[in-house]
Chain A
Amino acid sequence: MSEPNLTEPSPPDTGPVTGPIADLSYRTYDGPLSPPRARWWAIARAASRQTFAKRGFWILTVLGAWYYLVMIVIVFFVEQVLSASPQPTNRAMDFFTRIVWKDQFLHGLSFAQLIFMIVTLMAGAGAIANDNRANALLVYLSKPCTKGDYIIGKWIGVFMPVFVAMALPTFVFYLYGAMTFQSYGFLTADPWMGPKLLALLPLMAAFQTSLILGFSSCFNQGRLAGFAYAGLYMLTNLFTQLMVGVFMNYVSRDNTAIDQVPATVKTFFYASIDGLNIGLTKAILGTHGSPYFGIPSRIPSMRAPELLPVLALIIALSVGATVLAWRRVRAVEVVG
């Protein structure tokens, strides 16, 4: 064994390491790649994820349940009164006979229309408009995506949050009612209420989704698209409120005068975005409506519109808006 060379100089001090510890050179990717089709799902997932990640969305979804929450509280107190009293009071019993369960869904959805509109704006106003501003279509079309993937992906990406905002409070109330209000005829009064709600809610969400995407495709800024959509919503709503005013003028003095209401008023009573949604709700649930919270009222509700014309109008508007989005999204200029 040789002696260690004690006179050998130590290696020069190179100073502190300044370069990165990790290997930053380019490496090829040899991992898996799924077949190049149906990319709309990736687009839909990303679009909906952006909305679901917003705290405001969940706050609005909870706010959209306010009618149901109030209803639950009222029913709870009435039940307390019934159970506390040795002889159920007539007024409490009257309350339950006045309650039409399917109308509670009509009211819940009607009162939440404005909230649904805000959720729709949040999810969809910038969906295409912001992409127009950022030239994002270049990114999509340089990948194995088509214009069809893009539109379908965006549509589903907006539809999912809007549907969740509508469906979550409704089905939570439905489940609560099915478990708690069974003895008051919640399930027996209309056994088809569940399937009817399952048919209604996607239709309403699809209608709002298609409209907002049509608007979004016409602008380069989500904010402008949102203002335009909200403007149309409010203007048409103002118009239907005028019709409500005329209707009330007839029926407030004489509740049997509903037949004297002019046909024009009946026709245009639902001629707004939320009006169409309410009309569709009435038509699908098969109700004209009843007093809110079971509080007696002598003013009758406007009759439900015929299902087919309302459905046809909603489908026509939805298809029209989607076609508009399809035409406005230009897939040609991918490279300079």
Chain B
Amino acid sequence: MREVPLNPRPALSQGLNSARVNVASIRQLTVRYGSFTALSDFTVDIPVGCVGLLGPNGAGKTTLIKALLGLVDPASGSGEVLGADIRREGRTVRQRVGLMPEQDCHLPGMTAVGFVAYAGELAGMPAAQALRRAHEVLEYCQLGEARYRNVETFSTGMKQKIKLAQALVHGPRLLLLDEPTNGLDPHGREEMLELVRDVSHGKDVSVLVSSHILPDIERTCDQVIVVTQGRLVAQGMIKDLKRLEGQPVDIELKDPNGAFLNALLTAGVTLLGEIPLGYRVQAPGRPEETAALAFAAARSTGAQIRRFHVATRSLEEAFLEVIR
């Protein structure tokens, strides 16, 4: 039985059974600041789930986030976020979306629980509900012990967490996180990434994470959007983006064996390079066919294959190639 949401806001779960559900769609959006074009004829669909937003400085990530929040006036194009038009229904968009900004920001003179409850009231929650929910999200963000402390006395890590709490308090269906691990020590970063991963998986909340730290994106997101010079240059699953062209494979042996390599080359396999205890090779056809050739060569030469996997590149390598 499918759950029916208590409030009339569009629930993502309503469409999860369909092949692909988008939380936001931008169509041919152009945003200009004077003579500078920040986004040019930009079209993108942001799917449900945790999506990373990548791009070099000045690529247009910030403008895209502003556009998604309905805070910029586009020169042309259109867009929808959770069913609301970004050009005409900016307030509605911001009620359905939570933003965790990159910069340090809080409301002076307030305790943590007062701040988060106030953020909920600003989003339209009744005061009593906002207070109850503030306690709940502060506990979730691991700030339960510090809820009655003035926010101005918080450490950097706590300030990052309270920014997440104020973004979550009104139960947004889409979270926009701008550099969520900015300024955090390794332990704080670990906690923040765990929170982001937790909230974006199985909680009916989609997350768009803008970050320069590619391992963070890789750790939390399933998909990425790569932007450069105001244009979309790549979009898809991270594992697809990391896949190398021609699907080369890495074969690791117990002992590197020249006869094995010769047998492979004779079978029409191309050597792309050596890896520790093995070779990176490529053959026409699918990786399964390469595997069959490798096992045949091993059988004929007495080599012992310890590991066989499709070779991938790091997200950083993939990113650099895409934006080149």
Report A's interface with B, CB cutoff 8 A: 20, 22, 24-37, 39, 42-43, 46, 50, 126, 130-131, 133-146, 331, 334-336
Contacts and interface: CB of A to CB of B under 8 A. Distances in A.
Given A36-B92, A130-B109, A139 B205 contact: no
Given A33-B7, A140-B122, A28 B204 contact: yes
B105 A335 contact: no
Contacts of B109: 50, 126, 130
Contact of A126 (B99, B104, B108, B123): B108
Given A29-B171, A31-B171, A142-B98, 18 more contacts: A26-B140, A26-B199, A29-B169, A33-B9, A34-B126, A36-B92, A42-B121, A130-B108, A134-B107, A142-B99, A143-B119, A145-B91, A146-B91, A334-B69, A334-B71, A334-B99, A334-B101, A335-B176
Given A139-B107, A144-B123, A334-B71, A32 B203 contact: no
B5 A29 contact: no
A144 B203 contact: no
B133 interface: yes
Nearest to B173: A28
Nearest to B70: A144
B2 to A, nearest CB: 14
B124 A33 contact: yes
A121 to B, nearest CB: 15
Q: Interface centre among B144, B169, B171, by most A CB within 10 Å? A: B171
Contacts of A136: 105-108
6 contacts: A24-B140, A30-B171, A136-B105, A143-B95, A145-B91, A336-B62
B101 A335 contact: yes
Contacts of A335: 62, 65-66, 69, 99, 101-102, 176, 178
Contacts of B122: 39, 42-43, 139-140, 143-145
Nearest to A139: B105
B213 to A, nearest CB: 14
A336 B179 contact: yes
Interface size class of B (residues with CB under 8 A): 35 or more
Nearest to A129: B108
Given A144-B94, A144-B123, A334-B101, A28 B203 contact: yes
B75 to A, nearest CB: 16
A50 B176 CA distance: 30
A36 B82 CA distance: 15
B218 interface: no
Contacts of A143: 94-95, 119, 122-123
B129 interface: yes
A145 to B, nearest CB: 6
A135 B95 contact: no
Interface in B69-112: 69, 71, 91-92, 94-95, 98-99, 101-109
Nearest to B118: A46
Nearest to A153: B122
B317 interface: no
B107 A32 contact: no
Interface in B123-158: 123-126, 129, 133, 136-137, 139-140, 144, 152
A29 B71 CA distance: 25
Given A28-B203, A31-B6, A37-B91, A138 B140 contact: no
A138 B105 contact: yes
A134 B91 contact: no
Nearest 6 pairs of A and B residues by beta carbon:
A29-B171, A135-B105, A142-B99, A36-B91, A144-B91, A143-B122
B67 to A, nearest CB: 10
B107 A131 contact: yes
Contacts of B169: 29
B103 A24 contact: no
Contacts of A134: 104-108, 152
A31 B5 CA distance: 9
B281 to A, nearest CB: 44
B101 to A, nearest CB: 5
B222 interface: no
B166 interface: yes
A138 B101 CA distance: 7
Contacts of B65: 335
A28 B171 contact: yes
A27 B202 CA distance: 11
